[in-house]
Amino acid sequence: MELLPTVWFIAIAVLWTGYLFLEGFDLGVGMLMKLFARNNTDRRVLLNTIGPVWDGNEVWLLTAAGATFAAFPLWYASLFSALYLPLLLVLVALIFRAVAFEYRGKVDTARWRTIWDWAIAVGSFTAAFGIGAALALTTTGLPLNANGDRQGGPFAWFSGYAVLGGFAVVAFALVHALAFLALKTDGEVRHRARRWFVRLSPVALLPLLGWMVAVQLLSGKTWTWALVIVGALAAAAAWALARKGAEGTAFGALGVFLVCATASIFGAAFPVVIPSTLDPAFNLTVSNASSSAYTLGLMSIVAAVGLPLVIAYQAWTYWVFRQRVSAAHIPAAHGFLPAIAAKVLVGHAASGGPAAKHARHNARE
């Protein structure tokens, strides 16, 4: 097995692990906007926990996809063309979610907020499910022919593994968000999040554990089976620590579970990057799907310089915004007058007339 393709396979697995860990909790927070929060103040607390970091977390998704495109172009082409429809829905969901974060607070009405709350919740669910389904299929198989093209219609990718992977990431994101909220908030939201985590985690982590076992049954190795056991123990430890109120270590134990999950799944699949369900001879591997040695070598130099800087900057961001958020930190909601409307009203006020006093008053507001 060639060294550089193997190194870049590991690097892509690490990037997906980083994405699921960081974006996992903020996708979960997005879903909890409708499942967990009881009022507008709760929702604003939730939004403030991820407000400074959610867009930085999505960089891991772009980097994972970009690294796959550059290091393994056939892997990228086969996966993204075979899953064109679901990945398009993921893209639309991420766009609506991003817009909702920006637009939600622009108008102080319950109806306006409700629309964007649903956009955040549904967008977060769709993105989590779609990404989970895509990752599950790249480790369990797609109907690819000898050229790496999908055989069948636009839904030929749909299978039980896709559903399992989708719900595995959705359920993990929800409990990961609860662990994050218990660590990041204070007051009633913090205590409620910890209670929900203790109640839900034994069930919600089962789909991801099931995905781990399914891949092991297909192509597992001794060391990847060992990671499944370690991951299960880490999940149990996270639950026990949360019961004791050790929120930081519980969050860390959940991270260990995720690392074990991704390492066991990608490790069991290696060296195959996409198995073909039509014929094992059509499998895409790290050898036949990779770029040239020159390309991989150049990428390695760039990554060695750039990746530590990106990680350091993101770590610094989390350190700056490390304080807990509570309802006491949330100011009263209020409307605002767009700048263009304010100029129009000021102009009317300056021109005099019966509406001048009212215009001046509105401009000040």
Q: Per the structure block, which two tokens stand in for 179?
A: 């662990």
The secondary element (H helix, E strand) that includes residue 172 is helix 160-184
Please answer whether residues 310 and 57 qualify as being in contact, where contact means their C-beta atoms are separated by less than 8 angstroms: no
- Per-residue pLDDT band for 108 (boundaries 50, 70, 90) equals confident
- DSSP β-ladder status, 284-285 and 272-274: antiparallel
Given this model, what pLDDT does residue 340 score? 53
Nearest Cα to 213, choosing from 225, 231, 226?
Answer: 225
Cα 176 to Cα 143, 220, 326, 331: the distances in Å are 33, 26, 19, 27
Residue in the structure block whose two tokens are 């060992």: 226
Given a cut of 60, whether residue 289 has pLDDT beyond it is: yes
Backbone angles phi, psi at 239, to 5 degrees: -65, -45
The pTM of the full predicted model, rounded to 2 decimals, is 0.88
Burial class (CB in 10 A: 0-12, 13-18, 19+), 365: exposed
Rounded to whole angstroms, the Cα distance separating 267 from 227 reads 10
Residue in the structure block whose two tokens are 């030929």: 156
Given a cut of 50, whether residue 225 has pLDDT beyond it is: yes
Residue type, 302: V
* Residue 350: strand, helix, or coil: helix
Higher pLDDT, 106 or 341: 106
